[in-house]
Structure 1
């Protein structure tokens, strides 16, 4: 769950609603990047098949211990595991968290040529057909599903795990102490717009703004190039998951995403929810799902616009009162709407509608 906090949020929410939750986990050992790489190097696919068979055997043993579950929730990236769940427990009991589509991920990782996209779409279609309920994160994502699956899809926001929520903050000082502290963390994919952040860093070189960039991935080199020789940025390869909430909470602003692709325009990233829970002001791209999720509790800039992002951060650095108000707004929104208990409410309502009760 450290690598995939969405799974933990759903589990925490269900437990908080009084349900008994039993976790069955057999790590595959391939992250998303490795799975996408296999599409470019098909000779690696047999290794996936061998590992998948071993994991399925372990999952089957774990799943069949104890009482038969009323509902089986297959966490996201479960495009293959959902078939095992259906085989063991029947389609009626299976809920698939389709937070990330295989075809969407392939396009975002620039795997879109030849037979690869049709193959990924087929994987998505098969997974969707194996579940009675499909979870997505935004209404825009639900609308991308085939029409026959939209009726049994439910929008469950990503939310933030309990460990991200900090105690109520003391009032902000009237004047800032030191530079504006800004943090970004992620896999530096095109969706996240890290290259745009790099361009903004270069424009902030003479401003009282200190940026921490955490993570790595396909766009990191471009982000570093765009930042140039700016001295106001610290690059960290990664931070252990247990330490990340504390580190983010030490900053004033948590950056969301700034990509311009179709997927970037229809998601609300986990870092937006987590940063708000950590008490940071949120600066992210101006898209309908993010506006709907955060309302006035964020500062928005046009996707892909490094100059606009730099201007927004410079404004916050120069206006401590605006910064304090934005921090308070994001923290309040997180406590009111982004806790595990709140985000699973639509799922519980859908299950009740299907006769599983609450």
Structure 2
């Protein structure tokens, strides 16, 4: 099968080549799939994309016109792909539903610890041979209340880690996880109740019509003062403007992000020579001492990359051989 891999990163190409074992002819393109780059797909049986690529209706129609039959996602989330249009056009779509929940959850904990113990500021001082520790006070995680929004695979790992720190756990999800309740004492309750009680909130929800701007002005207004919010899920679950107001007022004590609602124009690129001054929100967030942002790399572990590429190639193999595949979204 002829496959064009959009948004191909240098670090993932060796993993893809190893998983492929020369079965498919892979062509790597560093640019993301967009209206400007979709022409490159002419002559390919399949294209593979990542979370920031454009899978909207107009792009899918172009892919169909150019003869593309398959769309292989190298990620779990698929909010960037119009699945209804793909189904109508007869384009098969598959994702990577499970690669390493540990990678994401451990990164969320890293953001939390980095913020709480002021690690960035402390290291910055030490690098300048300034060993003053004034202003670096954190808090014990032990006995703190942690609200976990989304208790699927990633949220479950996060719950286990936080339980290990001695935290009291609250969960928010449509489906309650019996194991988390029995083993870790997780109590399921409403989002509003969590916001009023939690010292820390960690977000592990998919992005859909129900979760878009789930954390908005009304929710920020009822949060426990000084709350720490960690988001390694999807950027648009947070209303950035409302969160900024919460940070400026002190209601939100700290914010850790691996995702951002307008990351599509920014992340996975070197923007150091083209600072996006038109996006005032990311500018504001980036200069706040109680905000820690990473560029959507929570997934970036050896184990996760191996699994992502293995499943991506498996999806292509299934399509080529006509084998039924539970990873198919369309």
Same fold flag (TM > 0.5): no
What band does the TM-score fall into relative to the shorter chain?
A: 0.3 to 0.5
Q: TM-score, normalised by structure 1?
A: 0.35
Structure showing the higher helix proportion among its residues: 1
